[in-house]
Chains A and B, each alone.
Chain A
């Protein structure tokens, strides 16, 4: 019964995507064209393959994860396609690949499920850290880092034919690190949750237990310094601190983590130009409108002009915002679909996060419980950070909005993340 409800929802989400593409055709004056059919076919094939994989290998998995993802992707791809049709075309192929990857993950984990990953804890830690630092590879190597907009978070790979394949390894690192954390915490949460001393009203675990947090702080700071990637840096650190707090329930970890963020923030503000620019654009984007504040200010204009129902897809000017198809996709959606569209998007994220934590709550096995919680946490923090950045509640962190931003790696990583969550929710009580 749950799976047929899922199928119905996936069809509606695919219709949303096709309708969005049709809208753009109408505003461009070309009317209905083959693009509409192509979008619909890609959505149905991509999510259809995941749906069939779930029916076969995880029939009692949560039926809302992939429909919500399909809905967010539909709204996102509409706006990406509207901003730049060729990017929209690429994103369609990425979606197809991401759907097949998620199905493949469900196939590979068909036996014991995610429990099989628990043994390879240090492999995942190594992979996570390596992926995080991969963009530091020198420019002349066949696999090399790429510097864009002052940050070094891309990796290019030369492929035959003189072309280059580029991807964002940080998006995959978050999954590897979540698997490591879940496995580590499943074995160590008791020791980390033991408290013998109190400082004021705060239970304090033994000092040695703060090791993982300090390690994460070091890695996050390295990413901030050498890659100038504020987003990945904050995301990795929030994942570690949040997951440890979820597993132990000890407030001391949050306090220490928050303190380290404050210290790191102040130090990097003093030391680095790129952090200073982000902060000043956040505090007062109009002080330096034409330069550092331009992106944030244009984002605000877009949000403001959107009003209740928006300008209509294809009728606004989201192209005025730098990085409208990636970091600022939320501003573009709010401009052309209005407050109504923006709230629908936020509701879909909230439902996804609620579903994720619900899976964690109802899973008995500790590794799978912690893995569900960590994956949901990293997804939630990423969505929150970038939407808050666009709304000027937080400095811009330069990470993608899951499922909506243009970007193949991001789409692939987040579909894989959902496949893992879905597999955990299948047979959660054992």
Chain B
């Protein structure tokens, strides 16, 4: 076989390899970029305090990750003696709403179960911080 022909085949083979990777990248791009009809309606938008001695009824919108806790320096101040100063971080990460416990003393509960790893939230979930309960809407 002439060398030129074989060299051409070699480059076509490499082009094919990169065609595959490009196809994957494009497909992932669509997957991530497209608003997903079924899911967007379930995407959590805000949290409402449904049980608390002092701040019941307050609403907090969910956007960039925000720290919730008892400290005045927390992004969202939770007035609850059982909450830690910096208790839990809630916000949108990688397209999902995640709640990450920040090593709180009394723990963070999602739907009644203690969570220790970042946990995705959807509409209807409840988050308990100390004695305060918030609902995701």
Binding site for B on A (CB under 8 A): 2, 5, 8-9, 12-13, 15-16, 19-20, 23, 26-27, 29, 63-64, 67-68, 71, 75, 189-190, 193, 247-249, 309-313, 315, 337-338, 340-341, 344, 347-348, 351, 358, 361-362, 364, 366, 369, 429
Contact = CB atoms under 8 A, between A and B. Distances in A.
Contact of A12 (B23, B94, B117, B120): B23
Given A312-B9, A337-B14, A9 B27 contact: yes
B111 to A, nearest CB: 9
Nearest to B8: A312
B118 A9 contact: no
A311 B6 CA distance: 10
Given A8-B23, A347-B21, A361-B96, 16 more contacts: A5-B30, A12-B16, A13-B20, A19-B16, A26-B6, A29-B1, A64-B28, A71-B17, A247-B117, A249-B116, A249-B117, A309-B14, A312-B10, A315-B10, A344-B21, A366-B117
Nearest to B34: A1
Contacts of A247: 117
B56 interface: no
B19 A337 contact: no
B122 interface: yes
Contacts of B20: 9, 12-13, 16, 67, 71
A19 B18 CA distance: 14
A309 B94 CA distance: 35
B65 to A, nearest CB: 14
A429 B125 CA distance: 12
A188 B14 CA distance: 48
A248 B101 CA distance: 12
Interface of B: 1, 5-7, 9-14, 16-21, 23-24, 27-28, 30-31, 94, 96, 114, 116-120, 122
Contacts of B10: 23, 309-313, 315
Contacts of A311: 10
Nearest to A193: B116
B122 A429 contact: yes
Given A64-B24, A315-B6, A369-B117, A337 B1 contact: no
Contacts, number: 97
A75 B20 CA distance: 12
A2 B31 contact: yes
Contacts of B21: 71, 344, 347-348
17 contacts: A5-B30, A5-B31, A12-B16, A15-B16, A16-B16, A19-B12, A26-B9, A63-B27, A189-B116, A312-B7, A338-B14, A341-B14, A344-B14, A351-B24, A361-B96, A362-B96, A429-B122
Nearest to B10: A312
Contacts of A27: 1, 6
B119 A364 contact: yes
Given A27-B1, A75-B17, A190-B116, A309 B11 contact: yes
A313 B13 contact: yes
Nearest to B107: A190
Contacts of A64: 24, 27-28
A16 B30 CA distance: 23
B1 A67 contact: no
Contacts of B17: 16, 71, 75, 337, 340-341, 344
